[in-house]
Amino acid sequence: MSLKIADKTFNSRLFTGTGKFSSASLMEESLLVSGSELVTVALKRVDLKGQDDDILSHLLHPQFNLLPNTSGVRTAREAVFAAQLAREALETNWLKLEIHPDPKYLLPDPIESLKAAEELAKLGFIVLPYIHADPVLCKRLEDAGVAAVMPLGSPIGSNKGLKTIDFLEIIIEQSKVPVVIDAGIGAPSDAAKAMEIGADAVLVNTAIAVSQNPVAMAMAFKMAVEAGRMAFEAKLAQPSRQAVASSPLTEFLNN
Amino acid sequence: MSLKIADKTFNSRLFTGTGKFSSASLMEESLLVSGSELVTVALKRVDLKGQDDDILSHLLHPQFNLLPNTSGVRTAREAVFAAQLAREALETNWLKLEIHPDPKYLLPDPIESLKAAEELAKLGFIVLPYIHADPVLCKRLEDAGVAAVMPLGSPIGSNKGLKTIDFLEIIIEQSKVPVVIDAGIGAPSDAAKAMEIGADAVLVNTAIAVSQNPVAMAMAFKMAVEAGRMAFEAKLAQPSRQAVASSPLTEFLNN
Amino acid sequence: MSLKIADKTFNSRLFTGTGKFSSASLMEESLLVSGSELVTVALKRVDLKGQDDDILSHLLHPQFNLLPNTSGVRTAREAVFAAQLAREALETNWLKLEIHPDPKYLLPDPIESLKAAEELAKLGFIVLPYIHADPVLCKRLEDAGVAAVMPLGSPIGSNKGLKTIDFLEIIIEQSKVPVVIDAGIGAPSDAAKAMEIGADAVLVNTAIAVSQNPVAMAMAFKMAVEAGRMAFEAKLAQPSRQAVASSPLTEFLNN
Amino acid sequence: MSLKIADKTFNSRLFTGTGKFSSASLMEESLLVSGSELVTVALKRVDLKGQDDDILSHLLHPQFNLLPNTSGVRTAREAVFAAQLAREALETNWLKLEIHPDPKYLLPDPIESLKAAEELAKLGFIVLPYIHADPVLCKRLEDAGVAAVMPLGSPIGSNKGLKTIDFLEIIIEQSKVPVVIDAGIGAPSDAAKAMEIGADAVLVNTAIAVSQNPVAMAMAFKMAVEAGRMAFEAKLAQPSRQAVASSPLTEFLNN
């Protein structure tokens, strides 16, 4: 039941982000409660000069593996540069590749993402690209050597859930690398649904961070992800048009 | 965080049904694992003559409160008669009122349901009517003295989820008695969603009973219901059109 | 292809309402363009004393049949009284029965609606009740002698479209009287969809009246209703999971 | 109200395809009735040697502009070769660029599509690429000089409608070239909806060709597209949560 990406094994299928929390200590507590073992952090938020390295100091738990992301870059070239900085600063070759030239919707660039993925894979990075829910692009990234694909459920921060579900199902059917659904997951029910359709993991940030009670919400997501995975493994019944009564019609009145 | 209906307090917000399991012992194990404290059973399936009372013998756990249902009746008159039989046989005045004249979709009759609810309330029953997700009908049943309302999410056994969500939200907003969403909940994500919008409980039967692994599925529903409730209490963020990045745009490349 | 309700035959399957237009002359022009042959009007808006009967004077076209509605009544008793006033004032025994005790969502009362329908049918009215999309209630109204049923697509004025589609399909499958979808139709595409699933007609008001250009919008709805009906009769293909190319794969490159 | 793409002006916003019709004459009649002025044809189906050029002989009407497509190619290189063949055979530099390496779902390849679009634009082609509903890719294609973008609504031939609507809305908001929604449009209501959200045109093939009555269905799509466009121009009201009655509450009962 555990998940393997590259050389690491994860017991938790809930990956998390570190943005938007009202304080670093609230972030720390929430992420600990979430059970998350892979935590993404924007390179910008890491103090590259080593002073006041606030956010990192809150992530120094054996539970957490860091997944630096390239949020803010706009081209493959910038992404590769950022990845190298991140590797040096954080001493990990894991990388969440994010290239979004559009400042309004922060949607990823398929062309630059593939180009960067190819180069980063050659440079020895474990690349997890954040991309559109495009099944053909996912296969091309797989061929380029990424460790997992991270298609979006809906625009980042929109909390709209799995709007791309018809395409996510195709990606899951076809992918040989793990599929992590990223962006748009706004509620535990969305996370459960993602797992029910067979996703390998989800990445959640906004929905936990901006909740009125991030620690409780982190726990809710943890349970929902586990519930969804359990249901996937136990196999759900398919929707059907005609109702079939749970309680067979009785005839006792005629007896 | 516990739920009160009439004079009983429930720690679990997952109500369950007993139909369609492949064996009584599998039913017993699944329901125990689900944590459910209210279990509905069709009167027909109870051996009123006391012999071979198979199904009941599997429900003799302190965890379970029985909720006999009137599945199979077609009129208020039949429902009242069945309710009285059930009270005598099962020694409980709790009743899930189900009146569905339509053998194909098993949808409930609003007119007969209200009539029966009025009479049964006067006769001292704790009535939980299974009804369409009709906000006005729910208020009328509340006025008639029901202990809770049980609007449907979609047709029984359809596993289609919360198709009536726009009306469930109105019911939840207006109801002074607990709202239990019944019928159509096909996956843990549906149950979580029901709780996230503020339902007081859900009733699940088919989705657990017909799973390839009902015990695991029962556990999945238990966790999903708890996750959804926790998220409701911690307050979810609202969906928004424009994306807002979890990871603020970095400027490190310009530094 | 024409529609028959009671003794009248309609060439247009677009029924319309008269509320919310910015002026009576704009209403008149829009409804003429819509091709609508059945126009509902709230009794309140008709000057029962015969002076300044503004709205009616704009509806004096042979194209229009009037369908007075009982909007504003809260009980069957009030509805019957209003119906009799309407019959006298407007010299028609056609009636759109609307009973909505809830001032916020204006959802219809199933119990009072059935009671009023029974009585009005006995009094010789041609009754078209506005009701929830409740298949069992629709059958009971049919038994009570209504001329058509008017289930809602979503709450009045919400413009949310066919949220009740799963139940509308059952109603259409089972009904022996025409099914007119009322309330919630916010766009021509909604009206087309209603016709595609086999509804006999739709009633549209808000979406036309509050448009920036009601006359153009009336024409758009007219065309959409005709398009949807035509598609229903020509039979649509069913959705399928696997793609099937419109353009067969070519082999010319290998030639 | 007319649409301009490159140097051509279209009065009809319904583009059509030629696959799957049961006969060429039925195709001809349907397309004439549809009013379509741009008709796509797979290069493979054109007899490049000039004999028995059945399909083309049915498209020799002044109403039709031909849009050869590259269906069946798997790479940019193949696409450019096919485009050149098509230009020579059909004497047009218009081209629907389709590159789909996946034989099951026929989803387009973003990388090869951009590469081919860049090269074809340089070669003087009027390129209309069929692509995923990926807003960033659409902008890159626009920069590469395409004449329009053709994002998919759902997988080809699936008849599932506008599953990608959240992304189509972003594409429409951002695009400087016309947006033509292609693939998945299974019913006139889908086509109307596409126009209502501001698409410039739709391309329909399967839904017309496989209908029991393609000629009637072609007419239905024609009307639905016109209705949707008219509604877009007349501005639709927005969905709202709370109902607002079309018929103001009456007070006549109190008079």
Residue A136's domain is classified under what CATH number?
A: 3.20.20.70
d(CA C192, CA C228): 4
The phi, psi pair for B106, rounded to 5°, reads: 55, 35
Q: State the average pLDDT over residues D65-83.
A: 95
3-class secondary structure, A219: helix
Q: State the average pLDDT over residues D35-43.
A: 94
Neighbours of chain C (3+ CB pairs under 8 A): B, D
Q: With contact defined as beta carbons under 8 Å apart, do D210 and D21 qualify?
A: no
* Candidates D167, D170, D174, D175, partner chain A, best to mutate (most A CBs within 10 A): D167
The residue in chain D having the minimum alpha-carbon distance to the alpha carbon of residue C46 is D252
Q: How confident is the model at residue D250 (pLDDT cuts 50, 70, 90)?
A: very low
Q: State the average pLDDT over residues C139-152.
A: 98
In the block, tokens 């996946």 appear at D102
In the block, tokens 């892979």 appear at A38
Domain annotation covers residue D252: no
> What pLDDT score does D52 carry?
47
CA-based nearest residue to A116, from D111, D149, B246: D111
Q: How confident is the model at residue D172 (pLDDT cuts 50, 70, 90)?
A: very high
Q: State the average pLDDT over residues B100-127.
A: 95
Q: State the average pLDDT over residues B77-88.
A: 94
- How many other CB atoms are there within 10 angstroms of residue C249's CB atom? 14
Q: Look at C156 and D234 and tell me if their CB atoms are within 8 Å.
A: no
Report the mean per-residue pLDDT for chain C. Answer: 90
> What pLDDT score does A110 carry?
97
Cα angle C43, C48, C52; round to 5: 105
> What pLDDT score does D57 carry?
87
> What pLDDT score does A103 carry?
83
Residues of D in contact with A132 (CB under 8 A): 132, 134, 136-137
Neighbours of chain B (3+ CB pairs under 8 A): A, C
Which of the residues B4, B44, B49, B96 is marked catalytic? B96
Report the mean per-residue pLDDT for chain B. Answer: 90
Domain annotation covers residue D94: yes
d(CA D191, CA B29): 51
d(CA D226, CA C117): 39
> What pLDDT score does B254 carry?
39
Q: State the average pLDDT over residues B89-114.
A: 93
> What pLDDT score does A249 carry?
40
Tell me the two tokens of residue D201: 């045109």
> What pLDDT score does A66 carry?
95
d(CA A81, CA B16): 56
> What pLDDT score does A245 carry?
53
CA-based nearest residue to C96, from C26, C43, C172: C43
CA-based nearest residue to A199, from A237, A245, A161: A161
Domain annotation covers residue D125: yes
Q: With 90 as the cut, is the pLDDT of residue D115 above it? A: yes
Q: What's the Cα-to-Cα distance from D198 to each of A136, A158, C1, D165, rounded to whole Å?
A: 27, 22, 32, 11
Q: With contact defined as beta carbons under 8 Å apart, do B165 and B173 qualify?
A: no
Q: Look at D244 and C72 and tell me if their CB atoms are within 8 Å.
A: no
Q: With 90 as the cut, is the pLDDT of residue D49 above it? A: no
d(CA A208, CA D250): 47
Q: Percent of chain C scored above 70 by pLDDT?
A: 89
d(CA D238, CA D233): 14
Q: How confident is the model at residue D126 (pLDDT cuts 50, 70, 90)?
A: very high
Dihedral (CA of D68, D74, D76, D81) sign? negative
ipTM: 0.91
d(CA B94, CA B92): 5
Q: Which domain holds residue A26?
A: 3-254
The residue in chain C having the minimum alpha-carbon distance to the alpha carbon of residue D214 is C234
Annotated binding site of C: 157, 183-184, 205-206
pLDDT in tens, A209-228: 999 999 999 999 999 999 99
Q: With 60 as the cut, is the pLDDT of residue C6 above it? A: yes
Q: With 90 as the cut, is the pLDDT of residue A53 above it? A: no
Q: How confident is the model at residue C242 (pLDDT cuts 50, 70, 90)?
A: low
Q: How confident is the model at residue C50 (pLDDT cuts 50, 70, 90)?
A: low
> What pLDDT score does C213 carry?
95
Could you say which of C78, C105, C217 has the minimum Cβ distance to residue D243?
A: C105
* Candidates B109, B167, B168, B173, partner chain C, best to mutate (most C CBs within 10 A): B167
Please state whether beta strands A14-17 and C180-182 pair in parallel, antiparallel, or not at all (unpaired). unpaired
Q: With 90 as the cut, is the pLDDT of residue D55 above it? A: no
Residues of D in contact with A134 (CB under 8 A): 107, 110, 132, 134
Tell me the two tokens of residue B169: 């939200």
Q: Percent of chain D scored above 70 by pLDDT?
A: 89
> What pLDDT score does B242 carry?
54
Q: Percent of chain B scored above 70 by pLDDT?
A: 89
Q: State the average pLDDT over residues A100-123.
A: 94
d(CA D36, CA D204): 10
Q: What's the Cα-to-Cα distance from B126 to each of A29, C41, C83, C182, D53, rounded to whole Å?
A: 44, 44, 39, 36, 77
What are A's interface residues with D at a Cβ cutoff of 8 A? Answer: 100-102, 105, 107-111, 114, 132, 134-137, 139-140, 154-155, 158, 160, 163-164, 166-167, 170, 174
Q: State the average pLDDT over residues A157-178.
A: 93
Q: What's the Cα-to-Cα distance from C26 to each of A163, B155, C32, C46, rounded to whole Å?
A: 40, 43, 10, 17
pLDDT in tens, B120-151: 999 999 999 999 999 999 999 999 999 999 99
Chain D nearest C-alpha distance from A197 (Å): 17
**Across A89-93, B44-48, B51-55, which has the greatest mean pLDDT?**
A89-93
Q: Which amino acid is at A86?
A: A
In the block, tokens 């951002």 appear at D174
In the block, tokens 């007419």 appear at D219
Q: Look at C114 and B109 and tell me if their CB atoms are within 8 Å.
A: no
Q: Look at B160 and C170 and tell me if their CB atoms are within 8 Å.
A: no
Q: Percent of chain D scored above 90 by pLDDT?
A: 76
Could you say which of A107, A108, A136 has the minimum Cβ distance to residue D108?
A: A136
Q: With 90 as the cut, is the pLDDT of residue A230 above it? A: yes
Farthest-apart Cα atoms in chain B, separation: 85
Q: With contact defined as beta carbons under 8 Å apart, do D10 and D37 qualify?
A: yes
| Count of structural domains within chain B | 1
The residue in chain A having the minimum alpha-carbon distance to the alpha carbon of residue B194 is A189
Q: How confident is the model at residue C252 (pLDDT cuts 50, 70, 90)?
A: very low
Q: Look at C158 and D240 and tell me if their CB atoms are within 8 Å.
A: yes
Q: What's the Cα-to-Cα distance from A226 to each of A62, A186, B39, B222, C255, rounded to whole Å?
A: 21, 17, 24, 11, 54
Report the mean per-residue pLDDT for chain D. Answer: 90
Residue B183 among known ligand-binding residues: yes
Query: In the annotation, is B96 catalytic?
Result: yes
Residues of A in contact with B45 (CB under 8 A): 247-248, 250
Q: Which residue has the higher pLDDT, D1 or C30?
A: C30
Q: Which residue has the higher pLDDT, B125 or B49?
A: B125
The residue in chain D having the minimum alpha-carbon distance to the alpha carbon of residue C105 is D243
Q: State the average pLDDT over residues D229-250.
A: 69
- How many other CB atoms are there within 10 angstroms of residue C216's CB atom? 18
Q: How confident is the model at residue A48 (pLDDT cuts 50, 70, 90)?
A: low
Lowest mean pLDDT among A112-116, A139-143, B152-156, D134-138: B152-156
Q: How confident is the model at residue A255 (pLDDT cuts 50, 70, 90)?
A: very low
